[in-house]
Amino acid sequence: MNLQANYEQIPLKEYAERAYLDYSMYVVLDRALPFVGDGLKPVQRRIVYAMSELGLAASAKPKKSARTIGDVIGKFHPHGDTSCYEAMVLMAQPFSYRYPLVDGQGNFGSPDDPKSFAAMRYTESKLSPIAEALLGELGQGTVDWVPNFDGTLEEPSWLPARVPHVLLNGSMGIAVGMATDIPPHNLRELASACIRLLDEPEATVAQLCEHVQGPDYPTEAEIITPRAELLAMYENGSGSVRARAVYVREEGNIVITALPHQVSPSKILEQIAAQMRAKKLPMIEDLRDESDHENPIRLVLVPRSSRVDADELMPHLFATTDLEKSFRVNLNMIGLDGRPQVKDLKKILNEWLAFRTQTVTRRLNHRLAKVERRLHLLEGLRIAYLNLDEVIRIIRTEEEPKPVLMARFGLSEEQTDYILETRLRQLARLEEMKINAERDQLEEERARINVLLKSPAKLKNLIKDELRLDAEKYGDARRSPLVEREAAQALDESALVASEPVTVVLSRKGWIRAAKGHDVDAEGLSYREGDGLLAVAKARTTQQVAVIDATGRSYSTPAHTLPSARGNGEPLTGRFTPPAGASFDALVAGDNDTRLILATDFGYGFVTRFEALTGRNKAGKQIISLSDGAKVLAPQVTADPARDRIVVVTTEGHLLMFSVAELPELDKGKGNKLIEVPKKQLAEGERVAGIAVVAEGKGEVTMYAGARKLTLKWADLVEYGGNRATRGGLLPRGLRRVERIETTA
């Protein structure tokens, strides 16, 4: 016997494809995306329905959540109890849902940690009043009923929502290959837009946005997205919304009173504290959380002084923390056709109104059928009343009274059954007035329903009236104010660093460090074996430091990022990538507008702004063009190029002083000749030993030649004055082998 005979055989590839497709469709249609009609995912719908079946209305006493969840997963949702409870908790959190559907008692989490809720055996829950807007019409023939998972019960395929709940509380979900991110909205605004669309079916999205101003989150944080972007979002069904925390000034402190949706206060404090630890927020002295029952959000920032401008500081915090947050919007949902689609605002409201119209029509038809049945039964009762003695006689004497009654009085089977089910005592008590009064009332109702069903205009008016009623009953004022603002920008890093004096020290082998203060003995610092001092620069922590290598390339880094002078520092090759074999020869610090003189030992130079030396490129940038064999001299700062003098000295003792104004101001290049060094002397090794800048009338310089040094005051320097590019005057004999020069006053 073939054991395989009873089994269907399909290729593994086909099975895998089918299984994955089935799973994908299940996730899309039955798990992740809400339905446009009631705005609920299946698990949410089942929770709300099961709670209504348990009698947990808003007016009822709450029941243990475990009891409710047990009922949900036992009857309708055969999945994990934990995830089912989490879905219920979400619907109960006032900080997660704009209009919570569940009223929870006990620990249902906090904005700090929404998932810190107590176990379901400890919490109690019931439905909130607004859930009635989803459930009120359930038993009125408004929904299709489908078998539950085991076919023993029936559950509604959707809930007859009286309000556009899909936009009311919004939804988030990740399906296979698609996601949904629907923000919450204000009920009154949505109702107003629906009424406008009923009155004007041709209304554009822009016109509907006159009513629906934008999302309305369960928080007072500002929505700062420009109006045009919000409009584009509603037109395309996708985009983003930017929300920003709200703060006030209170006795010199900055108090944050509202945070964007789903932002944790403790995370905000952590983010700010991390910046304080990294010394990137010198303007804040202290921060604390003063949140309590009355003030759910109250974060206090204590500025270092009264001079700190909150309007400058806060944009930086908005840009660097979650105080300003962007929310993705993707209006993806399952439409009336049962397919997922990203819809614009008009399409959503149109589809919901179509759903609502169908629901109301079904409700009216259901009621009409009930009224007509009751009228039919009343007609039977009336006939029984008019022939009471005969009816009682037939019932008492006949073995089979039903066919006799039907034949004798022309009653229908339903009417006869109703008469026979009514006790004789009650039949005897029938009063024509009461029967006629009920009949008149029902006929009036039937006529009213028929008018509504036959007149689309009157049906529209009924829907509008119900929307107005629900908006009045469940609606409230907008919580999230709409304030158009530019996206916040972080402050420049230098603005966030306390301005303190530092001395930057560069060693001969290219190791850099920064010592606190300007009174630092750079020579006396410890150096690695075989290394020593090359250059020193006085700076402030808010400034940049620039180094120039042997190829004339410049590299820059913020002074506050340099390592402490307690150790040996760090090699510059770790921060920058100079050309192979290039050494670092010069060091300078300053503000962007600081004027510097850059020169080479071949006797060429120019004036430049410090900004020209700075850049983010790790490979640096070419700043000074060097001839073969030329070296960069230590740059010199000139405070007033128009009045300052430059003193140039060669290794052979030629000294020249001329005005800085004679030099060109360039961003990069070779520059002009400073002092004449004939080609022959250049070839023999004469070089420029150094340059110094002196103030007109009061400057002095000191030259070092071996163990000897010479200080020249302004009166002495005047004798060496001349024009740029001349040979200059000779120094006294014995001081002609100059090694370096420096400004001493």
CA-CA distances (angstroms) from residue 555 to 585, 589, 610? 12, 11, 12
Pair 616, 670: CB distance under 8 Å = no
Tokens, residue 599: 């020169």
Pair 287, 269: CB distance under 8 Å = yes
- Mean per-residue pLDDT of the chain: 92
Please give the pLDDT value at position 277: 86
In angstroms, the CA 81 to CA 85 distance is 6
Pair 588, 645: CB distance under 8 Å = no
Pick the catalytic residue from 23, 122, 234, 604.
122
Bridge-based pairing of strands 340-342 and 501-507 is unpaired
Please give the pLDDT value at position 422: 85
Pair 146, 135: CB distance under 8 Å = no
Please give the pLDDT value at position 308: 82
To the nearest whole percent, how much of the chain has pLDDT over 90?
76
| pLDDT 10s digits, 506-524 | 999 999 999 999 999 998 8
Q: What confidence category does residue 486 fall into, taking pLDDT thresholds of 50, 70 and 90?
A: confident
Question: Bigger pLDDT: 498 or 534?
Answer: 534
Pair 363, 141: CB distance under 8 Å = yes
Please give the pLDDT value at position 279: 76
| pLDDT 10s digits, 426-439 | 877 878 888 889 99
CA-CA distances (angstroms) from residue 455 to 196, 263, 460? 19, 50, 9
In angstroms, the CA 183 to CA 240 distance is 10
- Is the predicted pLDDT of residue 691 greater than 50, yes or no? yes
Burial 127-140 (b: 16+ CB within 10 A, else e): bbebbbbbbbbeeb
Q: Report which of 685, 677, 691 is spatially closest to residue 727, judged by C-alpha positions.
A: 677
| pLDDT 10s digits, 446-484 | 999 999 999 999 999 999 999 999 999 999 999 999 998
Q: Where are the beta strands (DSSP E) in 559-666?
A: 570-571, 584-590, 595-599, 604-609, 621-622, 636-638, 645-650, 654-659
Amino acid (1-letter code) at residue 115: K
Pair 297, 257: CB distance under 8 Å = yes
Pair 391, 405: CB distance under 8 Å = yes
In angstroms, the CA 734 to CA 708 distance is 8
Query: Taking the chain, what is the end-to-end CA distance rounded to the nearest angstrom?
Result: 113
- Is the predicted pLDDT of residue 365 greater than 60, yes or no? yes
In angstroms, the CA 407 to CA 532 distance is 127
Tokens, residue 458: 């009157």
**3-state SS track over 571-593:** EHHHCCCCCCCCCEEEEEEECCC
Q: Report which of 302, 256, 301, 313 is spatially closest to residue 488, judged by C-alpha positions.
A: 313
Amino acid (1-letter code) at residue 84: C
Dihedral sign computed on CA atoms, order 709, 711, 717, 719: negative
Please give the pLDDT value at position 4: 56
Please give the pLDDT value at position 697: 84
SS3 127: strand
Please give the pLDDT value at position 484: 87
pTM for this entry: 0.76
In angstroms, the CA 321 to CA 281 distance is 13
- Alpha-carbon radius of gyration of the chain: 43
- Phi, psi torsion values for 84, nearest 5 degrees: -65, -40
In angstroms, the CA 258 to CA 325 distance is 13
Please give the pLDDT value at position 6: 66
In angstroms, the CA 64 to CA 70 distance is 10
Tokens, residue 125: 């829950």
Q: Report which of 141, 190, 153 is spatially closest to residue 169, judged by C-alpha positions.
A: 190
Cβ contacts of 479 within 8 Å, gap of 6 or more? 98, 186, 216, 217, 218, 219, 220
- Phi, psi torsion values for 64, nearest 5 degrees: -55, 135
Please give the pLDDT value at position 209: 95
- Is the predicted pLDDT of residue 490 greater than 80, yes or no? no
Average pLDDT over residues 563-580: 92
Annotated catalytic, 122?
Answer: yes
| pLDDT 10s digits, 412-428 | 999 999 988 888 788 77
Tokens, residue 681: 């002397």
140-147: Cβ within 8 A, 24+ apart: 140/362, 140/363, 140/366, 140/367, 141/362, 141/363, 141/365, 141/366, 141/369, 142/359, 142/362, 142/363, 142/366
In angstroms, the CA 438 to CA 451 distance is 20
**What's the count of helices (H) and strands (E) in the chain, helices before strands?**
20, 35
SS3 533: strand
In angstroms, the CA 86 to CA 735 distance is 88
Q: Report which of 315, 246, 48 is spatially closest to residue 161, judged by C-alpha positions.
A: 48
Dihedral sign computed on CA atoms, order 440, 444, 447, 449: negative
Least confident of 222-226, 281-285, 359-363, 611-615: 281-285
Cβ contacts of 121 within 8 Å, gap of 6 or more? 64, 65, 66
Please give the pLDDT value at position 494: 59
| pLDDT 10s digits, 231-260 | 999 999 999 999 999 999 998 899 999 999
- Is the predicted pLDDT of residue 2 greater than 60, yes or no? no
Q: What confidence category does residue 1 fall into, taking pLDDT thresholds of 50, 70 and 90?
A: very low
- Phi, psi torsion values for 247, nearest 5 degrees: -135, 160
CA-CA distances (angstroms) from residue 364 to 140, 359, 452, 454, 652? 8, 9, 8, 11, 112
In angstroms, the CA 514 to CA 534 distance is 14
In angstroms, the CA 361 to CA 449 distance is 10
